Amino acid sequence: CFCVIMVGIQQSGSGTNTTHFVSQLQWYYARLFPLQSIHNWLSYSQPDSTLFSHREVSFTLSGDIYLRFRSFRNASELHTALKDRAPIKIDFGAIYNIPPVSRSTSHSPLVALEKELVFDIDMTDYIDVMGDLNEGNEMERTDKNWEYMAAAVTILDEALRGDFGFESILWVYSGRRGIHCWVADYRARVLSNESRSAIAEFLAIKFEADSASSKRNTFTVTHPLHPSLSRAKSQVCEQVFNEFVLLKQNILQGEERERKFLQWIQDPVLREKIESALLRSQSKSASVELRSDEKWHVIVKELKANGQLALIDYLILKYTYPRLDIAVSKDIGHLLKSPFCVHPKTGRVCVPFRARDAYEFRPKLNAPELSALIDELNSRLSAKECAQFNEKLDSLSLSELKYPSNELLEKYPGTCQFMQSIAVFQEFLLDLRHENSQLQIQRQDEIAAHEFIKNIN
């Protein structure tokens, strides 16, 4: 459980100065950061093992001070460090053969043994497929274009579960402009770099951002599509392309966007045929420009007539398929930001969310800002009410965390958002506990079988 205590921090807007933000973080790490749940995750229900104490923890401090290869013996030691140093960013890395903090004094070289399989997707990699919604600052652009992130989550979650059989998967909003994924199954944690690379390459499609940089597409589709791509296209990509890319982004509206779209049709003769067909269709609609969906209908008709079914698939996937930073996934030693960090640029908490809720999740609505949390709790709670609220939080069940009462929702909307993200994380921990129980049973069976064979011999 977590506990909220009154503090006397003076509030300001999202553009807070560094000193003020650090003081807010000190409050957060002391009062609200779900440290025990984080420890339960990283120790994998084995508190007496070295899974936690040999895990690399990295701190980024105010002033761009970067501390790598930290490690902590227990949750209490980590909690003390968080409160004392108030890092503006926490990253988790691999589990090593020795405590990373001891690397300079140990006679053994530092060797990474295991780490979750991770994925990172950033909204900046989608700018070339944005239209009308490519406006505003980074936070506004991320909120408006979240459909791309939701599609990525839906496609990858299905592939990780259906194609690879993984079950313990955590999705986290990065706090600014993207998403992170942690695959925590034991099979995933012990993958070699070669296996991680193979999975990342299987899931990724590399598209050229500008056709002028290459004479041919980086990704060549076949027809029919590979089953995993076919599933992604039919279940997710087509709908996102038709309803979001064409209608909301208006990706074919205006001469410049139309030209940019048609550049991916690299056969000049075919491209000229399509341009002529678009002009003929436009001439029939008088002075009103064809809508993006109407232009797409003309393009598809011409591509089908010329036997270019694979190119139709290519265009749909290019504008909707997940864009992975596969370098993050390939290396077991690569760091990734901890869930429940507070992003220093936005003040938003990096909250987990369920894959099935990806389309309903909106960062602006579901990722509370730290300053708003502090303001909400400080301004609305007397000392007596604070004590009562703490008692309520300490006794809430998983169901109550997921579905706060109307009274709590009305009084503390930001805190309820935080509570619901804690519930998502607790569900993830339940999945891990189930797997850990199964692994323990399997190990016991293996020991028993070994002893049986030994006795026979």
Task: Give how far Cα 284 sits from Cα of 141, 247, 277, Å.
Answer: 36, 21, 11
- Is residue 122 part of the annotated active site? The answer reads yes
- Catalytic residue from among 56, 116, 157, 302: 56
d(C-alpha 186, C-alpha 160), whole Å: 14
Residue 122 in tokens: 């950033």
- Catalytic residue from among 116, 120, 302, 435: 120
The burial class, CB within 10 Å (0-12 / 13-18 / 19+), for 451 is exposed
- Catalytic residue from among 91, 116, 122, 435: 122
Q: Return the number of other C-beta atoms located less than 10 Å from residue 184's C-beta.
A: 23
- Residues 55, 95 contacting (CB under 8 angstroms): yes
CB burial string 310-335: b at 16+ within 10 A, e below: ebbbbbbbbbbbbbbbbebbbbbebb
Residue 310 in tokens: 């694979």
Residue 254's region, left for phi above 0, alpha for psi from -120 to 50, else beta, is left
- Is residue 120 part of the annotated active site? The answer reads yes
- Is residue 56 part of the annotated active site? The answer reads yes
**Cis bond before residue 224 (omega within 30° of 0):** yes
d(C-alpha 108, C-alpha 54), whole Å: 13
Q: Which residues are catalytic?
A: 56, 120, 122
